[in-house]
């Protein structure tokens, strides 16, 4: 059974499943980059009128829509698409591993930043249907990518500065600021 949850972003909705949706962690897919996708489920979902972005995580999927489509018309289509997939497949939608692993050359500061992101920040962001990915750390500045419901959310800048930046500065003294790319 698929349940939905609203997010702080009015153009994003979270679809929760008892089944595993992604066995590889969180991945984001955008309508403008869907041409080369080999995953039929994601490709078809991005072809729905109004669907701009899809984020898949272990037990949920977030959909960001355009302003010109209402959730009343889009929500049943997404639920039906998910139900149809799980009626015909007994495996997660995403399976191969593409997750960023700690690199051998990552220094201790980067390892601490990634640990704080993974343990303290990502679970909170996931509750709102989004994700945050570490991109780089240079001269005290952490660069991250906000995905899913967080992408284009009116409150994401506040979340980034008041939440993410404050937590990282508290746990990792080398961090001065956080920027979204």
Q: Do the beta carbons of residue 152 and residue 28 sit within 8 Å? A: no
Please, what's the b/e burial string for 112-137 (b: 16 or more CB within 10 A of its CB; e: otherwise)?
Answer: bbbebbeeebbeebbebbbbbbbeeb
Boundaries of every domain in the chain: 3-88, 108-180
Contacts of 58 (CB under 8 A, 6+ apart): 20, 21, 22, 23, 25, 26
pLDDT at 105 over 60: no
Computed over every residue of the chain, the mean pLDDT equals 86
Domain 3-88 has CATH 3.30.1370.70: yes
Nearest to residue 165, comparing CAs of 153, 154, 179, 155?
A: 179
Architecture of the 108-180 domain: 2-Layer Sandwich (3.30)
Q: What is the rounded average pLDDT of the residues 10-36?
A: 89
If you average pLDDT over residues 24-38, what whole number do you get?
85
Whether residue 178 is predicted with pLDDT greater than 80 in this model: the reply is yes
pLDDT of residue 98: 46
Which range among 52-56, 110-114, 125-129, 144-148 shows the weakest confidence by mean pLDDT? 125-129
126 in Cβ contact with 150 (< 8 Å): no
Taking residue 47's Cβ as centre, other Cβ atoms within 10 Å add up to: 10
Residues 6+ apart with CB under 8 A from 148: 12, 26, 28, 53, 55, 57, 62, 64, 129, 130, 131
């Amino acid at each position: 059974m698929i349940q939905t949850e609203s997010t702080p972003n009015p153009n994003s909705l979270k679809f929760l499943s008892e089944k595993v949706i992604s066995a590889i962690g969180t991945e984001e897919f955008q309508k403008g980059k869907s041409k080369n996708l080999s995953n039929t489920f994601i490709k078809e979902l991005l072809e729905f009128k109004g669907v701009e972005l899809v984020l898949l995580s272990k037990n949920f999927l977030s959909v960001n829509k355009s302003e010109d489509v209402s959730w009343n018309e889009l929500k049943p289509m997404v639920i039906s698409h998910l139900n149809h997939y799980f009626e015909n497949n007994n495996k997660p939608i995403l399976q191969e591993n593409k997750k960023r692993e700690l690199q051998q050359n990552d220094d201790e500061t980067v390892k601490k930043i990634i640990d704080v992101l993974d343990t303290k920040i990502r679970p909170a962001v996931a509750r709102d249907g989004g994700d945050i990915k570490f991109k780089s750390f240079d001269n005290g500045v952490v660069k991250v990518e906000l995905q899913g419901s967080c992408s284009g959310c009116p409150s994401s800048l506040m979340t980034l500065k008041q939440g993410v930046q404050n937590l990282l500065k508290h746990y990792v003294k080398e961090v001065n600021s956080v920027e979204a790319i």
